[in-house]
Amino acid sequence: MKLFLKTLLTVAWKELVDLFRDRRTVVLGLLMGPLLFPVLILGMGAMAEKRARTQLESVLDLPVIGAGHAPSLVRHLGGRDIRAIDPPADPERALREQEHDVVLRIPADFPERWRQSRMATVEILYDSSRQDSQIPVARVREAIGQYGQQVGALRLVSRGISPEAALPVLAARRDVATPESKRGMILMFLPYILIFTGFIGGAYMVIDVTAGERERQSLEPLLATPGSRSALMSGKILAATVLGLLGLVLMLGAVAATLALGPRAMQMVSMTPRLLAMLLLVLAPIVLVGCTLLTLISASVKSVKEAQSYMSVLILLPILPTVVLMVSPVKEQLWQFAVPFLAQNQMVLKLVRSEWIEPMEWLVYFGSGFGLALVLWLLAARLYHSEKLAISA
């Protein structure tokens, strides 16, 4: 056992020293993600916030077809910073070509129905496939709705009827969501980013120290040393796991900095040192699973290119829980904490939302996570003990 641990630590230290000698690789592997993440999130957040503020606060030019049929409605829209302009010759084409975000059509029978105190219909034309049109359409719909409520109330009052008679039941809404859970909604993207970083963090090192050394014919002398092959393999996995955890720490720091410097909605979320430490603890099993799985793959292939070909599939695995939950949301159940990637997704969301995690959930989560890593380790150790591994490609 003493020899096993000595071999494990020696190999892990040797691999880490060799890796950090190549500073360019370390910088690209460890810092590229944490540096790009704040730039992308802050940039997109600033652009979205600026666009929303511009669309909400600026005067909206609204093409109105038949503006002369409802002058009072047009004046009401003007009081809401919605200016009526001449409509295009082909409104539908203008919307599809994004010349305008929304067009209002007032039918010719509007004045007659108005004088008869009957319901008059106006038509809001827009292209729902254009995200830029959402805010302008909402502004127009809200302004028309307010106008209809005001006119309806005045009609009732003129007839000596209370406006409340037209509203026999009022549905009052009460949101029981906590501030923490609301803040958690802002970070729906966070689980995928962290799970992906942890799962793939040590990928290039694992591939290099197994498939790469085999291809360079430097693995054969190492396997000929007195140390057991299981210890040699475990040392490589330990070095890759340390690298993956280091990359995860840097990504957590980047997330915390992004939330502190981001738009006002993001600043509502406080990434305390305790929360960051809990997230690192929760994601530790997936780092070990990723390094062990990649070790198993690297030991079963003959070249680095073949090992890298599996990356296109492995990259998709962390996103599967997010896609499944979006298509078919399910209530939280204990079995979910035993499913790889789904378990990490649930645990990260619970921590961000400041929700209590039951002891049984912790037990199932860590038991299944480290249990899966052990199964993968045993399979990889079996390949490492094969004589085929010592034969270079």
Which pLDDT belongs to residue 177? 58
Burial 196-234 (b: 16+ CB within 10 A, else e): bbbbbbbbbbbbbbbbbbbbeeebeebbeeebbbbbbbb
Which pLDDT belongs to residue 69? 87
The percent of residues above 90 in pLDDT, for the chain, comes to: 10
| Whole-angstrom distance, CA of residue 371 vs CA of residue 365 | 10
**Least confident among 6-15, 57-66, 100-109, 323-332:** 323-332
Angstrom distances, CA of residue 283 to CA of 122, 159, 287, 290: 54, 67, 7, 11
Which pLDDT belongs to residue 285? 93
Q: Say if strands 102-105 and 60-65 run parallel, antiparallel, or are unpaired.
A: parallel
Mean pLDDT of 354-377: 91
The percent of residues above 70 in pLDDT, for the chain, comes to: 83
Which pLDDT belongs to residue 55? 61
Which pLDDT belongs to residue 283? 92
| Whole-angstrom distance, CA of residue 376 vs CA of residue 365 | 17
- pLDDT for 37-58, tens place per residue? 677 766 666 666 666 666 666 7
Q: Tell which residue, 234, 174, 163, 181, has the closest CA to residue 385.
A: 234
**Least confident among 125-134, 244-253, 277-286:** 125-134
Residue 392 above 70 pLDDT?
no
Q: Long-range contacts made by residues 31-39, C-beta under 8 angstroms, separation at least 24?
A: 31/250, 33/197, 33/247, 33/250, 33/251, 33/254, 34/247, 34/250, 34/251, 34/253, 34/254, 35/254, 37/193, 37/251, 37/254, 37/255, 37/258, 38/254, 38/257, 38/258, 38/261
Strand ranges, E, within the chain: 60-65, 82-85, 102-105, 123-126
What three-state secondary structure class fits 228? coil
Contact 278, 351 (CB under 8 A): yes
Mean pLDDT of 87-96: 87
Which pLDDT belongs to residue 393? 46
**Least confident among 174-183, 228-237, 272-281, 286-295:** 174-183
Interacting residues of 284 by C-beta distance below 8 A, sequence separation 6+ = 198, 245
Type of residue numbered 362: W
Reported as half-sphere exposure (CB side, CA atoms, 13 A), residue 172 has a value of 1
Burial 141-155 (b: 16+ CB within 10 A, else e): eebbeebeeebebee
Interacting residues of 98 by C-beta distance below 8 A, sequence separation 6+ = 127, 130, 132
Residue 370 above 70 pLDDT?
yes
Mean pLDDT of 256-265: 72
Q: Which domains are seen in the chain, by residue range? A: 2-44+179-390 (no CATH), 58-166 (3.40.1710.10)
Type of residue numbered 323: V
Contact 129, 165 (CB under 8 A): no
More confident of the two residues 375 and 309: 375
Residue 302 above 60 pLDDT?
yes
Interacting residues of 77 by C-beta distance below 8 A, sequence separation 6+ = 62, 83, 84, 140, 143, 144, 147
Average confidence score pLDDT of the chain? 80
Which pLDDT belongs to residue 374? 94
DSSP of 92-114, one letter per residue? HHHHHTTS-SEEEE--TTHHHHH
Stated length of the chain = 393
- pLDDT for 201-235, tens place per residue? 888 788 888 777 777 777 767 777 777 888 888 88
Q: Is the pTM of this model over 0.75?
A: no
- pLDDT for 374-384, tens place per residue? 999 999 888 88
Residue 176 above 70 pLDDT?
no
| Whole-angstrom distance, CA of residue 12 vs CA of residue 205 | 11
| Whole-angstrom distance, CA of residue 254 vs CA of residue 218 | 37
Which pLDDT belongs to residue 373? 92
- pLDDT for 140-160, tens place per residue? 898 888 888 888 888 878 777
Eight-state DSSP code of residue 209: I
More confident of the two residues 82 and 25: 82
- pLDDT for 322-355, tens place per residue? 677 666 666 778 888 888 888 888 898 888 887 8
More confident of the two residues 98 and 390: 98
| Whole-angstrom distance, CA of residue 90 vs CA of residue 109 | 21
Which pLDDT belongs to residue 268? 61
| Whole-angstrom distance, CA of residue 216 vs CA of residue 236 | 16
